Amino acid sequence: MMNELIYAAPAAGVLALLYAFWKAAWVRKQDAGDDTMKEIAARIQEGAMAFLKAEYKVLAGFVVVVAGLLAWANYGGEGRSPLIAVSFVVGAIFSGIAGWAGMRVATNANVRTTAAARDGLPQALAVAFSGGAVMGMTVVGLAIIGLGGLYIAYTMGVFDITAGDAAQQYGTLGTVISVLTGFSMGASSIALFARVGGGIYTKAADVGADLVGKVEAGLPEDDPRNPAVIADNVGDNVGDVAGMGADLFESFVGAIIGAMVLGLGYDVVAEGESLSPVLMPLVIAAAGVIASILGTFVVRTKEGGNPQHALDLGAFGSAFVMAGATFGIAHFMWPAAGASVGDGTDPILWWHVGAATVIGLVTGVAIGMITSYYCSMDKRPVDSIAEQSKTGTATNIIAGLGMGMESTALPILCICFGVVGAASVAGLYGVAIAALGMLSTTGIQLAVDAYGPIADNAGGIAEMSEQDPKVRERTDKLDAVGNTTAAIGKGFAIGSAAMTALALFAAFAQTSGIADRGINISKPVVMAGLFLGGMLPFLFSSLAMRAVGDAAMDMIEEVRRQFREIDGLLEGKAKPDTARCVDISTKASIRKMVAPGLLAIITPVVIGLGGEAIQDKLGAEALGGLLAGVTVTGVLMAIFMSNAGGAWDNAKKSFEGGGYKMKDGTVHPKGSEAHNAAVVGDTVGDPFKDTAGPSLNILVKLMSVVALVIAPLL
Amino acid sequence: MMNELIYAAPAAGVLALLYAFWKAAWVRKQDAGDDTMKEIAARIQEGAMAFLKAEYKVLAGFVVVVAGLLAWANYGGEGRSPLIAVSFVVGAIFSGIAGWAGMRVATNANVRTTAAARDGLPQALAVAFSGGAVMGMTVVGLAIIGLGGLYIAYTMGVFDITAGDAAQQYGTLGTVISVLTGFSMGASSIALFARVGGGIYTKAADVGADLVGKVEAGLPEDDPRNPAVIADNVGDNVGDVAGMGADLFESFVGAIIGAMVLGLGYDVVAEGESLSPVLMPLVIAAAGVIASILGTFVVRTKEGGNPQHALDLGAFGSAFVMAGATFGIAHFMWPAAGASVGDGTDPILWWHVGAATVIGLVTGVAIGMITSYYCSMDKRPVDSIAEQSKTGTATNIIAGLGMGMESTALPILCICFGVVGAASVAGLYGVAIAALGMLSTTGIQLAVDAYGPIADNAGGIAEMSEQDPKVRERTDKLDAVGNTTAAIGKGFAIGSAAMTALALFAAFAQTSGIADRGINISKPVVMAGLFLGGMLPFLFSSLAMRAVGDAAMDMIEEVRRQFREIDGLLEGKAKPDTARCVDISTKASIRKMVAPGLLAIITPVVIGLGGEAIQDKLGAEALGGLLAGVTVTGVLMAIFMSNAGGAWDNAKKSFEGGGYKMKDGTVHPKGSEAHNAAVVGDTVGDPFKDTAGPSLNILVKLMSVVALVIAPLL
C-alpha cells in the first residue's frame, strides 16, 4: 500500500542520525593537538555553548507562551486541534537540537582540523567535512523524523485525529496536515531568532576585533592579545553554524509542508483513492536524505588534489541522483491516471511532478551561478567595485550598493521562469515540488556550507596557538575552496525561499478559503496589505543593522578599555579578558534579537485576526496582500544585501596578496588608500551579508507559515 | 449645464499662464547686478540651455518614434483612435515647454536674487519666490490647458471622436478618455528622462567639483578657480528646476487622468445622466490652480521677519482653501442622488468625494512631517548618524542605510491608512481623488520647491562674483528656509505617487477588462509579474547610480587635467575651461539617461503584449502583477533613498558651524575625523536623493500609464 511509504521518512531520518553519530564519534577520536590549541578550542566551545544556553533560555519562554496561545486558539473548532501546540513545541525543540548538535561537533572539529592540517590537506579536509556532514545529517534527519513521526502519531494511537467517522477522511487528513504546520512554525521561529541573534553576535564581535584590534592597535588577524578574538571565533560558530543549521532546518521543513498542504487539493485525495500527493513530499525528502548520505562518501581528495572537485562531486552527484529518484518515486506513487485540482484543467501525470523537480534544480543552479558571478574575484562586478575604490570610500560604497541592486535582476528572472515553468507543468503543487527539489539534498549542501566556518575557525586556532605557517596556509586553502559550492548553495537557499514562500502562500489561500474568490490586488485592502508587507523587510533590516551597530559600539568600548587598563597586554605580557567580550556579545545579541523576531510573528496575526474582526474575509485578503508584499521585497532585499556584502568582501580581498591592478595599470597593494576604502566597504557589507540578508530568507517563510497556521481561524 | 464646467479648466490654465508671464516680466525688470555677476549668470544660463537643447534633440527622436507606433497600433480598433499619438506629442511638448520656461526664469531670477540680496532679505525673497511662482504656474497652467483643451477638441469639431451615434455616448466618452491617456504618457516619459538626465548631470558635476576642487585642491565651495563650478551650478538648475518641473507636471496630469478614467465606471456616466465623475477631476484641478495663484499673494515678509512663515502661509492657506473648495465643487457637480459603480455597494454621495480629498491632504501632510523628522538636524535620526560618525565612515554609512530603511515604516503606514480610508468613503475613485487632493495645489508647492535652487544659485553667484559676505549670508538664510515646506512637498510627492499609481493601476484593470475576474496574486503568472516588477526599481536605481559614478569619473579626470595643465589656474592668474566641464556633464547625462528610461517604457509593453500573444488575458494578468510589484518596491526604494540621502546631508551639516557635540560631551568641528566620515556619507547619499530616489516616483507612474495606454490592445 502506497500510504505505508510514509514510514520511509522517519526510517531515513534515523539512518541519517546514525550516520551523524558515527561521524561525530570519529571526529572526537581525532587528535586535538597541543595544550595551547586545546585551551583555545575549549574557550571557543565554552563561549559558543554559553551563547546557546542563554539564547535557549529566552526562547524557552517564548515557546511556552506561543504553545499556550496556539492550544487555546485551536481548542474545539472544527478542522482544528490543540495538538498544533505539540507540533510547534516539537519543531522548536528539534530546531534547537539541530543547532546545538551542529555547534557541538563544529567546535570539536575546528581544533582537530588544525591538528590534522599539520599532517596534510586531505587529512584536514576529512575532519572539517566530517564535522559539516554531522551537522547536515542531524538537520535533515531531525526534520523528517519530526514531520514523519508526528504524521504517524496523529493518524494512529492516542493522538489519532482521524479516528471516528472514516468517511470524513479528507476533512480529518486536512486537520492532520494543518496541525503539522505547527512544526514548521516552531522550526521557523527558532530559526529566525537564531539567525538574527547569531548574526548580531558574529558581527559585533567581528567589528570590535577588527576596528580596535586590527586598525587601532595594529594587531594581525586572530592575534591572541586581542580581547575580542575569542568572541570573534565564537561568533563564526554562532552565526554560521548554529544560525545556518536552524535556517536550513526551517527551509527543508517549510518546503515539505508547503507541498503537503497543496497536495490536499487533489481530487484523488478528496475522493480517498490515494494520499500520494500529500505524502509524496515526505518520501522525496527521505530519498534526498539517502542521496546526501551517499554523496558524502565521494568527498575525499589526495594530497595535491583539488578539494573543490571533491565537494562539487558530492553535491552535484547527490542532486543528479535525486532528479532521477524523483521521477522514480513519482512513477511509483502518483496515481497512474493522474490527479487534478478540480478546476477543469488537464490532470497532472507522474512525469509532470518529476519535471517540476528538474525545473527547481535548474533554477537553483542558475541562481547559484549568478550569485557566484556577482561575488567572485576577477569578475566584472567585484572588479568594478575594486576599481571605484581608487577615488575613495564614497565611490566604493556607491559601486557596491549599485552592484547589489543590479544583482537582483537575473536571479529574479530565474525565479520567474522557475515559478511559471513549474506551475505550467504541475500547477502550484509544481512550484512547491520545485522548491523541495532544490532543497532535497540539503543534507550534503549543509555539510559543504558548514565546512566553511570549521575551516575558518581552524585557521584562527592555528594563528592563536602560533603554529607553523604552513598549517595556516593549508587551513586557508581549505577555507577558500568550497566557495563555489557554497555560492550555489546560497542560490538554492534564495530560490527555494522564494518558491517555498509562494507555495506556503498558495497553501494559505487554500486553507483560509479565499483561493476561490482570489486575492485581488486591485482591491484597496489588498493593496494596503501589499504596501505594508513590502515595508516589513526594510524595517526588519534596519532593526537588525542598528542592533549590530549598537552591539559593536559596546564591544569597541570594551576592547579599548582593556588595552587601556590591562598593563602589558599589547606587549604580550598579560592576558586579555576574553570572557568579558564573549559576555557582551552574548547579552547584546540576545537582547536585540527579540524586537525583529516578534515583528515577524505578530504582524500577520494582528492583520489577519484584526481584519477578520472588522469584516468577514477582510483579514484573509489583507493578509494575502501582506504575504505577497513581504515575499517580493524580502527576496529582493535578501539578494541585494547578500550579494553587495559578498562583492564588497571580495573587492577588499582583491587588494590582498600582490595588490590590485587597476585599468590604468597602477597597482594598489594592501594598506594603500584604495585598499583602505575597500576595507570600509567590507565593513558596511558585513551586517548586510551576515545579519540582515540571511534573516530575510527566514522572515518571508516564517510570516507565510504563521499565516498558514492561523488560516483555519480566519 | 454641468458639463460646460469643463471650460473652466483651460480658462484657469490661461489665467495661470498670464500670471506667469506677468511675474516673469517683473523678474526680468529687476537689477541683474554688476558685470561679473552678469557674466557668470550668462555662463550658467548658457550651460543650462545647452543641456536642454541637447536633451530635447534626443527626446524629439524618441517622441516621433513612439508617436508613430501609437498611431499605428491604435489605428482602426474599436474604442481606440490614432489621435492618441496627438495627445502623446502634445503631452511631451508641453512637458518640454514647462521645463524650458522654468529653467529660463530660474536662470534669470538667480542673479537678480543675488543683486536684490545686496539690498535686503525681503527684496531677495520676492525675486526668488517670483521665479519659483513662474515655474509653478507654467506647469499647472500647461497641464490643464493640455488636458482640458484636448478633451474639448476630441468632443467637438474636426477631431470629434464622439460624433455619430449619440446613443454610444458612453463608449465614445471612454474612447476620448483613453485617447487622453496619451497626454499623460507623453508627460511622464519626458519627465523620467528629464529627472534621470538632470539627476546624473547635477551629481556628476557636484562630485567633480567637490572631490577634486574642494578636497584635493582645497578650494572653498563655489570658488571661481574651480573648473567644474559652473557645471555644478548648471546642474542645480538642470536637476532641481527642469527635472522637478517635468516631474510635477507628470504627477499633476497623472492624478487627474487616473481619476477621470475611474470616473467612467459610475452608473450616472454609463446612463448618460451626468458626466460629472469624469469631468470633476479637471474642475478640481482648475480650482487648485486658482487657489495657488491666490496663495502666492500672501508670500511676503518684512526685514527681520521669518520667510518660512510666509511660505507656509501660502502653501497651507492654498491647501486649506482647496479642501473647502472641493466640497463646494462636489456639492455642485456630483449627482444629488449619488453615483454607484454598479457592484451593489451604497452609492457615493457628494460629501464622500470631499472627504476623500481631506483624507488625501491629511495623509500628505503626515508623510511630509515624517519625512521632515527623518531629515532634520537635531532630531534623533540625523543625530544618531552624526553620533555614529565618531567611529568612522563604515558606522556612518551603516547608520544612514539603517535609518533610511527604518524611515519607510511610518510613511507606508500613512499610505495604507490613506488608501483604505479614501477607498472606504469613495471606493477606488476616492483613492484617485485623494491623490488629486494632495496635488491640486501643485502650483504653489512647486513655487516653494523651485525657490530653493534659485536661492542656492544666488549664493553661488555671490561667491563667484566675490560679493560682500553679508550677501552670501542673506542668500544662505533664504536657502535654509522653505526646507520644512519643501519636505512637506516631498511627502505630498511620494504619497501622491503611491496613490496615483494605485489609481492608474485600478484604471488599467478597468480598461483591460480584467477588473471583474480580478488580478489574483495566488496565480503563478501574477506572482512572477510581481517579482519582476518588484525587481525593476532595483535595476533602475543601479543603472542610475552607475551612470552617476561613470560620469563623475569623467568629470574628476577633466578637473584634475585642468589643474595640471593650465598654468596659474590655482593661483587665480588663469581662467578655467568651464565650458569643457559643462560639455562633459551634458554628454554623459544624455547618453546615460537612455537605458533606464527605455527600461521603464518597454517592459510593460513586452510583458503585456507578449503575454497576450501566448494566451488571452495572460498578458493583462502578468502586467497587473508587474505594476503592483513596481509600485510597492518603487515607493519603498524612493522613500528609503530620499530619506537616507537627506539624513546624511544634514548629519554632515551638523558638524558645520560650531561643530557637533556627541553624547559623551566631545565636540567635533568641521574638518575633524567624524566630519570627514559624515562627508563621505553625504557623497553616497547624493545619487540616492538627487538621482535615483526622485526618478522612482516617476517610474512607478510611467509604467502604470504605459500599461493604461496599451490596455485597450490587451
Q: Are A339 and A348 in contact (CB under 8 A)?
A: yes
Per-residue pLDDT at A307 exceeds 90 = no
Per-residue pLDDT at A170 exceeds 60 = no
B520 and A519 within 8 Å at the Cβ level: the answer is: yes
B632 and A636 within 8 Å at the Cβ level: the answer is: no
What local confidence, expressed as pLDDT, does residue B166 receive? Answer: 43
Average pLDDT (B571-589) is 85
Per-residue pLDDT at A167 exceeds 50 = no
A549 and B398 within 8 Å at the Cβ level: the answer is: yes
Average pLDDT (B659-666) is 87
Mean of the per-residue pLDDT values for chain A?
A: 87
What local confidence, expressed as pLDDT, does residue B314 receive? Answer: 85
CA distance A239 to B683: 32
Least confident segment among B28-42, B261-275, B415-429: B261-275
Helix axes A8-29 and A83-117, enclosed angle (nearest 10): 30
Select from A362, A345, A361 the least CA-distant residue to A284.
Answer: A361
Q: Are A544 and A695 in contact (CB under 8 A)?
A: yes
Per-residue pLDDT reduced to its tens digit, B202-212: 888 888 887 77
Average pLDDT (A353-381) is 89
Mean of the per-residue pLDDT values for chain B?
A: 87
Q: Are A131 and A142 in contact (CB under 8 A)?
A: no
Average pLDDT (B253-268) is 89
Say how many CB pairs under 8 Å bridge A and B. 226
| Higher-confidence position of A236 and B168 | A236
Helix then strand then coil, % of chain A, to nearest 5: 80, 0, 20
Average pLDDT (B287-306) is 85
Average pLDDT (A680-702) is 89
Per-residue confidence band for B606, with pLDDT thresholds at 50, 70 and 90: very high
Q: What stretch of H or E contains A668? A: strand A667-668
Integer CA distances (angstroms), A436 to A52, A498, A636, B401, in order: 29, 12, 21, 35
| Higher-confidence position of A156 and A418 | A418
Residue labelled with grid coordinates 490532470: A347
Per-residue pLDDT reduced to its tens digit, B451-470: 888 888 898 899 888 888 88
Chain A residues 173-232 with a CB less than 8 Å from chain B: 211
CA B281 to chain centre: 20
Per-residue pLDDT at B113 exceeds 90 = yes
Give the nearest chain B residue to A204 (CA atoms): B395
Least confident segment among A129-138, A634-643, A665-674: A665-674
What local confidence, expressed as pLDDT, does residue B133 receive? Answer: 92
Average pLDDT (A321-340) is 89
Q: Cβ contacts (< 8 Å) between B555 and chain A: which residues?
A: none
Answer whether B317 touches A (CB < 8 Å): no
Per-residue confidence band for B396, with pLDDT thresholds at 50, 70 and 90: very high
CA atoms within 13 A on the CB side of A603: 30
* Amino acid in position B417: F
By the 10 Å C-beta count (0-12 exposed, 13-18 middle, 19+ buried), B417 is classed as middle
Average pLDDT (A562-570) is 85
Per-residue confidence band for B563, with pLDDT thresholds at 50, 70 and 90: confident
pTM reported for the whole predicted model: 0.93
Residues 6 or more apart from B575 whose CB is under 8 A from it?
B569
- For CA atoms A482, A483, A485, A486, the dihedral sign is positive
Per-residue pLDDT reduced to its tens digit, A484-502: 666 677 777 788 888 888 8
Q: Which among A399, A413, A524 is the nearest to B549, CB-wise?
A: A399
Per-residue confidence band for B275, with pLDDT thresholds at 50, 70 and 90: confident
Query: Residue A668: beta bridge partners?
Result: A660
Q: Cβ contacts (< 8 Å) between A427 and chain B: which residues?
A: 524
Q: Are A361 and A288 in contact (CB under 8 A)?
A: no
B429, three cell numbers:
475613485
Chain B residues 459-498 with a CB less than 8 Å from chain A: 498
Average pLDDT (B526-546) is 94
Residue labelled with grid coordinates 521562469: A417
Q: Are B92 and B59 in contact (CB under 8 A)?
A: yes
Helix then strand then coil, % of chain B, to nearest 5: 80, 0, 20
Average pLDDT (A87-95) is 95
Residues 6 or more apart from B319 whose CB is under 8 A from it?
B291, B361, B441
Residue labelled with grid coordinates 550579494: A643
By the 10 Å C-beta count (0-12 exposed, 13-18 middle, 19+ buried), A286 is classed as buried
Helix axes B594-614 and B169-208, enclosed angle (nearest 10): 150
Q: What DSSP state is assigned to residue B222?
A: T
CA distance A360 to A362: 6
B532 and A412 within 8 Å at the Cβ level: the answer is: yes
Per-residue pLDDT reduced to its tens digit, B617-649: 778 889 999 999 999 999 999 999 999 998 998
Per-residue pLDDT reduced to its tens digit, A441-498: 889 888 888 888 888 889 889 988 888 888 888 888 887 776 666 667 777 778 888 8
Answer whether B425 touches A (CB < 8 Å): no
Per-residue pLDDT at A435 exceeds 80 = yes
Per-residue pLDDT at A171 exceeds 60 = no
Gap from A397 CA to chain B (nearest CA, Å): 7
Per-residue pLDDT reduced to its tens digit, B327-353: 999 998 888 888 888 777 788 888 999
Per-residue pLDDT at B32 exceeds 50 = yes
CA distance B185 to B68: 14
Per-residue pLDDT at B553 exceeds 90 = no
What local confidence, expressed as pLDDT, does residue A479 receive? Answer: 79
What percent of chain A lies above the pLDDT cut of 90? 36
By the 10 Å C-beta count (0-12 exposed, 13-18 middle, 19+ buried), A338 is classed as middle
A622, three cell numbers:
489583507
B545 and A405 within 8 Å at the Cβ level: the answer is: yes
What local confidence, expressed as pLDDT, does residue B325 receive? Answer: 92
Average pLDDT (A507-533) is 84
Task: Give SS3 for B215.
Answer: helix
Mutate to test the interface with B, among A367, A380, A391, A535 (most CBs of B within 10 A): A535
Torsion angle of the four alpha carbons B563, B568, B572, B577, in this order, in degrees rounded to the nearest 10: -50
Task: Tell me phi and psi for residue B679, to 5 degrees.
Answer: -65, -40
Integer CA distances (angstroms), A129 to A115, A117, A126, A257, A371, in order: 14, 13, 5, 29, 23
Residue labelled with grid coordinates 486558539: A73
What local confidence, expressed as pLDDT, does residue B541 receive? Answer: 95
Phi/psi class of residue B489: alpha, beta or left (left: φ > 0; alpha: ψ in -120 to 50)?
alpha
B420 and A524 within 8 Å at the Cβ level: the answer is: yes
Q: Which among A405, A515, A549 is the nearest to B522, CB-wise?
A: A515
What local confidence, expressed as pLDDT, does residue A166 receive? Answer: 43
What is the DSSP pairing of strand A660-661 with strand A667-668?
antiparallel
Integer CA distances (angstroms), B334 to B3, B268, B269, B279, in order: 11, 10, 11, 10
Dump the DSSP string for B575-623: ---HHHHHHHHHHHHHHHTHHHHHHHHHHHHHHHHHHHHHSTTHHHHHH
Select from A379, A365, A283, A273 the least CA-distant residue to A328.
Answer: A283
CA distance A433 to A348: 13
Q: Cβ contacts (< 8 Å) between B519 and chain A: which residues?
A: 520-522
| Higher-confidence position of A170 and A650 | A650
What local confidence, expressed as pLDDT, does residue A157 receive? Answer: 61
CA distance A614 to A631: 25
Intra-chain end-to-end CA distance of chain B, in Å: 36
Per-residue pLDDT at A58 exceeds 70 = yes
Q: What is the ipTM of this complex?
A: 0.92
Q: Cβ contacts (< 8 Å) between A515 and chain B: which residues?
A: 522
CA distance B364 to B357: 11
B522 and A542 within 8 Å at the Cβ level: the answer is: no
Answer whether B634 touches A (CB < 8 Å): no
Answer whether B628 touches A (CB < 8 Å): yes
Chain B residues 357-416 with a CB less than 8 Å from chain A: 388, 391-395, 397-399, 401-406, 408-409, 412-413, 415-416
What percent of chain A lies above the pLDDT cut of 70? 96
B655, three cell numbers:
558638524
CA distance B67 to B341: 33
